[in-house]
Chain A
Amino acid sequence: MSSHGVEKSHSQGAPFKFTAENLAKYEELLTRYDDVESALLPVLHLVQEQNRWLPTEAIEYVSELMKIPEIKIKEVISFYDMFYDVPVARNMVHVCTNITCSMFGGREIYQGLLKHFDTDYLTPTRDGRISLQKMECLGACEMAPCMRINNDYVGPVDLVAAIQKLEELP
């Protein structure tokens, strides 16, 4: 988890609402649980699938839809590393900096990528292509040093290979 407090949420300057398809998915999600609140994590994942991140407008929308107070949703968002209350890029890249990966240069890869793409933790590159996030053990230490590019694991990689893979991203 990344922070203990609730940070100010950011606006995207445009309203959010689920597409018809995602609204149907939302309805299906609710059937899996015995109360509405339990569906919050999957619903936030669904919002991010559509919108990449969780601006104020999305929080308001989810709050209204699920009848959960906004403050509670913000708390949840700030607790989990994979929920983003700041704008993130088209491609999310997770670099593992935990024990085994660091033994094999995971930290140097993370720093090297930040430098190569001239960016910082989560900050989208200027072309909006990539957000980098260092992560704790990704549960794939046999691939150390490893990373996740969007939803796929890659590893072992070195900095050169990592840069090359990221440069290929749309």
Chain B
Amino acid sequence: MDKIMEKDTANYKDYTLLSYHHIPGVHNIDVFERAGGYEMMKKWVGAEPETIKEEVKQSGLRGRGGAGFPTGVKWGFFTKDRAAKKYLLCNADESEPGTFKDRFLVEKNPHILIEGMIISAWALGTQKGYIYIRGEFYQQAVILEKALKEAYAKGYLGKNIMGKGFDFDLYVHRGAGAYICGEETGMISSLEGKKGQPKLKPPFPAIKGYRGLPTMVNNVESLAAVPWIMRFGAAEYKKFGTEKSAGTKLFSISGDVNKPGVIEVPLGTTLKEIIEVHCGGMRNGNKLKAVIPGGSSSPVLNADDSYAVKMDYEDVASKGSMLGSGAIVVIDETRNMGDILKYTLEFYHHESCGQCTPCREGTGWMESIFKRRESGKAQKSDIELLDKTAASMRGQTICALADAAAMPTQGMIKFFRPELETYVTTNVNSNKR
């Protein structure tokens, strides 16, 4: 667990989510409080909720779970009826391949998330909250449970928080190994004790969510950003990042770099800087071939685009991909893109929840091309078929998983068609990479 690389965040030290991480024992509430933790909760719980919501809106914070929808705008859709029963749900499912930033945050500093959730719960008027954490993160769930216990003992959770007449209960809820439970409506089904099958939107969870009641779903990193937005204000937050992509962002970087790990940098930092400065450059000094910039659902960038792109929502989109969860997978010249696509498609087929035909069948067909390869029966034209299948899956389904499988497939074909054609027609047994 200690192997995670901690990167130099000195420049943004006083402002960042990771700014507490260098403090030994900061997962203990007393240490966290000595470092200024829970000050914002004490200041803002009891204050005018609209002021908090407005500050978050003005900050330009965008949801860090993948879609990048402005958090303050989403909060604005939530009922203002404070007496109405409603829920705050933290998405700690973190299953998008390549993503491991929320784990890092929760493991090192669970209280920053809890503080963010208490402030958010007050602003939104929710009485109960859950942190839905993927089943594999057992030790992280234990860390959170312990931190919650500490917060309850201090009177920061439960009935009549700090004598302010505000009740908020917060619990950890463990998933059990299903990627689709990261999708917010799938997560809600799962929390209801059912299969994690997504539901058609609208109605959106903010209107009709868990148990049919208004439910605000936010990612770990989004909620953990709230305390420092409330500490320094929206204007300070906006000084980091770009005009449309405000603030700092956690990136989890893996693959062919010397120092994989989690970093926090302002949005708009170049991918080149991330690879060369923050991750110690390419492994073995190999040449860069491609980068998956935002988790397995995001289309791959070739080397040129990778070296040109700035990591913010707009610039990555302008290159035909997406910032997603900030999961960067770096791929060097020794890799075959056929392998990468094969791993990706096997994943989506395995994780399709099976409700929608285009997704259930489409992910299966796409994977089967790579199965045919194993028996030497795949043809060059299969790549065209792959492209067509992917295209036909898009925009047809209950949730975005089908698109998440189709988009990277098409992106891969766009840049690496000849390589893929050779890959599927190469006899597997005679050509071990």
Contacts and interface: CB of A to CB of B under 8 A. Distances in A.
A94 B176 contact: no
13 contacts: A1-B353, A41-B193, A72-B194, A80-B175, A82-B136, A98-B296, A100-B254, A100-B329, A136-B351, A137-B95, A139-B102, A142-B254, A151-B139
B152 interface: no
Contact of B99 (A32, A72, A139): A139
A153 B134 CA distance: 14
A136 B347 contact: yes
B211 A35 contact: yes
A45 B174 contact: yes
A105 B5 CA distance: 21
A6 B103 CA distance: 32
A111 to B, nearest CB: 13
B178 A1 contact: yes
Contacts of B96: 137
Interface string B340-361: 1001100100110110000010
A38 B193 contact: yes
Contacts of B179: 1, 136
A86 interface: no
B176 A139 contact: no
Contact of A41 (B5, B100, B173, B340): B173
Nearest to B169: A32
A166 interface: no
A45 B134 CA distance: 12
A139 B134 contact: yes
Contact of B171 (A32, A45, A100): A32
Listed residue (A39, A45, A155) with the most chain B CB atoms within 10 angstroms of its CB: A45
Interface string B89-118: 000001111111011000000000000000
A139 B94 contact: yes
B103 A139 contact: yes
A94 B196 CA distance: 21
Closest 6 CB pairs of A and B: A81-B177, A40-B193, A141-B254, A80-B176, A82-B177, A137-B97
Nearest to B331: A103
Given A42-B174, A142-B3, A1 B211 contact: no
A152 B3 CA distance: 13
Listed residue (B176, B193, B340, B351) with the most chain A CB atoms within 10 angstroms of its CB: B193
Interface string A46-77: 00000000000000000000001000100110
A140 interface: yes
A34 B256 CA distance: 47
Contact of B190 (A2, A41, A82): A41
B128 interface: yes
A135 interface: yes
Given A32-B171, A140-B103, A141-B98, A100 B178 contact: no
A99 interface: yes
A79 B1 contact: no
Nearest to A140: B100
A37 interface: yes
Interface string B221-256: 000000000000000000000000000000011111
A99 B329 contact: yes
B3 A143 contact: yes
Contacts of B135: 45, 80, 82
Contacts of B252: 141-142
Listed residue (B1, B196, B343, B354) with the most chain A CB atoms within 10 angstroms of its CB: B343
B254 A136 contact: no
Nearest to B136: A138
B72 interface: no
Contact of A98 (B139, B193, B335, B343): B343
A130 B262 CA distance: 32
Contacts of A2: 350
A99 B344 contact: yes
B196 A79 contact: yes
Contacts of B173: 41-42
Listed residue (B177, B262, B292, B339) with the most chain A CB atoms within 10 angstroms of its CB: B177
Contacts of A38: 191-193, 211
A44 interface: yes
A81 B176 contact: yes
Interface string B161-181: 000000001010111111110
A153 B98 contact: no
Contacts of A35: 211
